[in-house]
Amino acid sequence: MDVSHILENLNDAQRNAVTSEKQHLLVLAGAGSGKTRVLVHKIAWEVEALGTNSSAIMAVTFTNKAANEMRSRIESLLKGPILDSWVGTFHGLSHKLLKRFYKEAGLSSSFTIIDSDDQLRIIKRTSKELNLDEATWPSRQSQWQINAWKDEGLRSINVDNKGDFYAETVNKIYKEYEEVCKRDDLVDFGELLLKSYETLVSSTSVKNFFQTRFKSILIDEFQDTNTIQYKWLQEIASKKTNITAVGDDDQSIYGWRGAKVEHVNSFTEDFKGAEVVRLEQNYRSTNIILNAANALIDNNKDRLGKNLWTEKLEGEQIVLYQAYNEQDEARFVADVLKDWMEKGGTYEETAVLYRSNAQSRAIEEALLRSSIPYRIYGGVRFYERLEIKNAIAYLKVIFNHKDNPSFERSISNPTRGVGEKTLAKIRHTAKQYNISYISASAKLIDDGKISGRGGTGLKDYLEFILGCKSFIEENLLSELMELIIKDSGLYAYHAKEPGEKGKTRTENLEELITATKNFEQSISDNKANSEIAESYLDIISLDSGDRQASEYDDAAQLMTMHSAKGLEFKLVLVTGLEESLFPHGRSMESASQLEEERRLCYVAITRAMEKLYVTHAESRRLHGTDTFNPPSRFLREIPKELINEIRPRAQTNIPYNRRDFKETKIEFEEEIGIALGQKVNHKKFGEGIVLNYEGSGDSARVQVNFDNAGTKWLVMAYANLDKI
């Protein structure tokens, strides 16, 4: 049989991987090196060249999309369907196993798979039955912990509490939750893997079925496997099964999700005699981009080691932009995207990457001002995020008591004992007397028709809203927003959400405080605080979801670095390369976490095909506070000769120490009327020194370091600065 079509268009390393005669194979596939091609062609090779039945091959992926793509490409290469195939995700294949061997698994044939929401409801009910207060023992946190135990292959009986009161309590919930699921024949996503693994271990007939059937098992994204997935693989494979693991230890970025990069390192120990093939030829990026990525990742220890290279041209230097602040950074991003478009590119070819979702706000606003269409990849716009909508709902109802939808959202987030029964009474009373929900709430309390926990919660809420209304008369919008977020319980409510979700939500809430600070500094001092707040509400209401580009529009892609994995773009901007932001402050806790941050940077850099921009800001107002973090260590790890560093027209820090200060000072003074280094007075912020300026005419902005209020950017047209 002619199998030349399977091997054509493969490089030497890819060909070696596809035709390897070793029982076990570890393919270290660098970014853009064609790992999916190798997987597909290896399966085709085993079917056509080695005569293996396609039903005797199992291919494991991490997403249904990847599984469907793999199946389609295999069928295209083989020019026919692959029947009775086991190509799918760990969860999908585990479900298939349990459906076939439900009796051995101790399930009925009609067992039900429950989603995350259903699981949470059961855990909430279980916690209530155990008389555990939701505020003290948040069900989402318990859900996260239970799923984490399952990912480690632990039942409640196997959990070692070690005298830990938290673990002991959550384990009680876990035990009761297990009983509910067993009684009602329910299987959650974590259970799919754990139950199928336990069935393989306990049932000789099930294990024999799989070990006899499958001659070859191939695993994609091997670096992302967690404990139970790796154990599952070891059980399902016989001593005669061929194992091919394809992955990249340099792209292991999901440790916070339970992924163990150690599985890549231990593969050759666990599967003796395994061959290691390195795919180092990159088909995506220029040499300069790859040399930067190689130099960066070489700072990580315990790597299996590889160096990406390409036959492409050397390429352009990486552009490093040192911004004044996050707004200057955002404007630079917009300028780069616009320039790319004007030179014949498309927005679809570009991506803006950031470490934290909260960073997107300033970038979104800059793109909107520049009329650049954008799309948030794998996420939602800043003002459409759940936690932001919750906070804004409070602001809306403070200034408009008739806003019933905002009342319902704010009264319910966080929960304060006002349940559906109480809300139904409020709705009925509002309809009966043709009044707002707030007025109806006050009436019901006055009439003594709502009591108990619901009545107390409702009364506290109304007092809080009225207090906020009074607060804004003497305080700034940003101070009101901070009050709403902290004193309403909203911050603590979202902080209780497990893992990265809770951290991201609280970061976004802190960034909302920053957004209001920036807004109040950009408008006239003549406006009352309440007017400023109402103007802010008007603006964000107009900035609605339809401003984001639709699926088929030409649009720049905005995404976190984690979301960017597996994607590629001709032009990439990696933003926010500052210590404590990237690498993230939380990564300083351990060397392994810092190495994962470096791998994340490696992933970000290798998304770029032609042009790469990296940015950092001298000062950044993030999470509600001004920070002055030094440039990221990752920038120092990239060879200087690969970088073209550019700076804004004027310098920050102490610009009046510059040699060209005289010329800059004269230019600025002629245009604005105030010189760099000039002492000024502002009626709200007091005395300060002019550090910087940008723009011209009505859009001219000046940066002032105030003695008591810190560094602020002000629009000259509204600042009303007096020279001292």
Alpha helices in 589-628 (DSSP H): 591-605
Cβ proximity of 537 and 396 under 8 Å: yes
Smallest CA-to-CA distance from 349 within 547, 609, 31 is with 609
Active-site residue identified among 89, 145, 251, 575: 251
Residue for token pair 């509002």? 430
Cβ proximity of 245 and 269 under 8 Å: no
Q: Which amino acid is at 517?
A: K
Quick one: DSSP state of residue 25? E
Strand partners for 87:
59
Active site residue 35: yes
687-710 per-residue burial string, b: 16 or more CB within 10 A, e: under 16? ebbbbbbbeeeeebbbbbebeeee
Active-site residue identified among 221, 250, 511, 596: 221
CB atoms within 10 A of CB 389: 16
Active-site residue identified among 306, 416, 607, 621: 607
Number of alpha carbons in the 13 Å side-chain half-sphere of residue 245: 26
Contacts of 82 (CB under 8 A, 6+ apart): 47, 54, 55, 71, 74, 75
Q: Which amino acid is at 301?
A: K
Residues in the chain: 724
Contacts of 443 (CB under 8 A, 6+ apart): 429, 433, 435
Please provide the DSSP assignment of 247-309 as one string. Answer: E-GGG---GGGT--THHHHHHHHHSTT-EEEEE-B-SSS-HHHHHHHHHHHTTSSS------B
Quick one: DSSP state of residue 695? -
Q: Which amino acid is at 363?
A: I
d(CA 390, CA 167): 31
Smallest CA-to-CA distance from 363 within 378, 387, 381, 377 is with 381
Smallest CA-to-CA distance from 417 within 461, 386, 359, 370 is with 461
Cβ proximity of 532 and 523 under 8 Å: yes
Cβ proximity of 297 and 602 under 8 Å: yes
Rg (CA), the chain: 29
Contacts of 429 (CB under 8 A, 6+ apart): 435, 440, 443, 444
Active-site residue identified among 23, 36, 141, 268: 36
Active-site residue identified among 35, 215, 260, 284: 35
Contacts of 124 (CB under 8 A, 6+ apart): 134, 139
CB atoms within 10 A of CB 81: 10
Cβ proximity of 699 and 715 under 8 Å: yes
Peptide bond into 414 cis (omega under 30): yes
Active site residue 220: yes
d(CA 565, CA 604): 8
Six token digits for residue 461: 């809420």
Peptide bond into 583 cis (omega under 30): yes
Cβ proximity of 676 and 652 under 8 Å: no
Active-site residue identified among 46, 191, 220, 250: 220
Number of alpha carbons in the 13 Å side-chain half-sphere of residue 308: 31
d(CA 484, CA 504): 18
Smallest CA-to-CA distance from 656 within 638, 679, 634, 622 is with 679
d(CA 258, CA 307): 27
Instruction: Catalogue the active-site residues.
Output: 35-36, 220-221, 251, 607
